[in-house]
Amino acid sequence: MREEELHSFYESAVRFLLKDMSLDEQVSFTLVLDSDTELKHLFFRLKDVWEYHQLKEEAGSIDLNQVWQEMTSESSLFDAGKTESKNSVRLIQRFWQVAASIVLLVGIGWVMSQILLVPDRPELVHVFECPKGDRVKINLADGSEVWLNADSKLTLPQNFSASDRQLALVGEAYFKVKSDPENPFLIDVANRQVKVTGTSFNVRYYPDENLFQTTLKEGKVSVVSPSGLVSLKPGEQLNVDTRDGEATIVSSIDVEQFSAWRVGRFEFHNMPMSELMNNVERWYNHEIIIDDPELMKLNFSGVLKHNKSIEHFMGVLSISHPISYEIIGDTIVVKPINNNKSRRMR
């Protein structure tokens, strides 16, 4: 791609950041963007720099042109001998609409975000994905805050704003919603809708666990499902078995136990082996193999701190419970303790 073509793309990117693009240009650009992953990568890097300085109210102090020059000097796109593609030429003439008022904070962990068209919803959406082994905090355009746990995904429509506050979640998130009784905050999760006006609460739904869970710290939460409406008060927790829809409300919950993960601490009390290992897999991005089905009968209590290594955690677990383990790369094999000492590889 020639230098002048990259510069033309850069000018379009700046126009986008300044919200100076027509809807036709936005949609057209989205449709062709996936055909050039290098340009897509460059755009996200430029956008991250812009949003970071916007957040710190230092937008005027950043020279985006210099940032762009440094990025493209490292890019394989800047290759005079590279054959031009029609898609690349078209791409330079288009632009991509994103919810620029949504600011991503990577102070807690790493997150991957992208803009795409959902097949059954033709409008643009913004997707935040937090991978296994990480956590992330997101500031939304309406002033609300979201902590996204490992292996979780948050999807927002292009028009998310202070007056249109609806999003979707798969995984786990802690929400601190800015109060606005006239514009409720709506979360689509597990074929249900969580409705709040100004509340702090935790929501958990990993499809492989067959559990939808909402734990309310303060404010008020209403959950709308096919079977009816359920309202929670502070200190209450709603648990729904997503296979049969059976719901239970538990009162006087220690909310911090279910939301401490956002500050790097995971508390578990009398937790079954399968559930604990699922959480460990997500937190440390390791595959865990249970060598003996009898181990599934064990329950565990304790605290898992994210700043501790997986070796440290498994070592503590094996001291307090009748298990041994072996770490082989990114795989952990958990075995029952026996007379022969299990070899522990680190």
- Domain extent, residue 171, equals 98-259
90 and 105, same domain (yes or no): no
Place of tokens 């795989």: 331
Please report, for the domain that includes residue 328, its CATH number. 3.55.50.30
Label residue 108 by pLDDT band (50, 70, 90).
Answer: very low
275 and 251, same domain (yes or no): no
Please count the other Cβ atoms lying within 10 Å of the Cβ belonging to residue 302: 15
The vertex-151 CA angle with 145 and 155, nearest 5°, equals 50
End position of a domain, from candidates 241, 259, 277:
259
38 and 130, same domain (yes or no): no
End position of a domain, from candidates 237, 259, 281:
259
Entry pTM: 0.66
27 and 44, same domain (yes or no): yes
Q: What is the pLDDT of residue 41?
A: 72
222 and 329, same domain (yes or no): no
110 and 60, same domain (yes or no): no
144 and 190, same domain (yes or no): yes
Quick check: is 223 in a domain? yes
The two three-digit tokens of residue 61, written as one number: 């102090």
246 and 187, same domain (yes or no): yes
Highest mean pLDDT among 104-108, 190-194, 315-319: 190-194
Label residue 6 by pLDDT band (50, 70, 90).
Answer: confident
15 and 103, same domain (yes or no): no
249 and 284, same domain (yes or no): no
Burial of 172 by CB count in 10 Å (0-12 exposed, 13-18 middle, 19+ buried)? buried
198 and 125, same domain (yes or no): yes
What gap in Å lies between CA 139 and CA 118, rounded to an integer?
Answer: 23
137 and 248, same domain (yes or no): yes
Contacts of 32 (CB under 8 A, 6+ apart): 87, 90, 91, 94
Quick check: is 124 in a domain? yes
What gap in Å lies between CA 241 and CA 205, rounded to an integer?
Answer: 10
Quick check: is 27 in a domain? yes
Please report, for the domain that includes residue 126, its CATH number. 2.60.120.1440
Helix, strand, coil shares of the chain, percent, nearest 5, are: 30, 35, 35
On the question of pLDDT at 31 being above 80, the answer is no
Per-residue pLDDT tens for 138-187?
989 899 999 999 999 999 887 888 999 999 999 999 999 999 999 999 99
DSSP for 99-137? -TT-EEE-SSS--EEEEEEETTEEEEEEEEEE-TT--EE
Q: What is the pLDDT of residue 111?
A: 58
Per-residue pLDDT tens for 196-243?
988 999 999 999 999 999 999 999 999 998 778 999 999 999 999 999
Closest CA to 160 of 147, 144, 137, 174: 144
Q: What is the pLDDT of residue 100?
A: 28
Number of domains in the chain: 3
Per-residue pLDDT tens for 285-329?
899 999 899 999 999 888 888 788 889 889 888 888 889 999 998
End position of a domain, from candidates 232, 259, 286:
259
Quick check: is 344 in a domain? no
Quick check: is 345 in a domain? no
What does the DSSP 8-state code read for residue 179?
Answer: P
Quick check: is 106 in a domain? yes
Quick check: is 342 in a domain? no
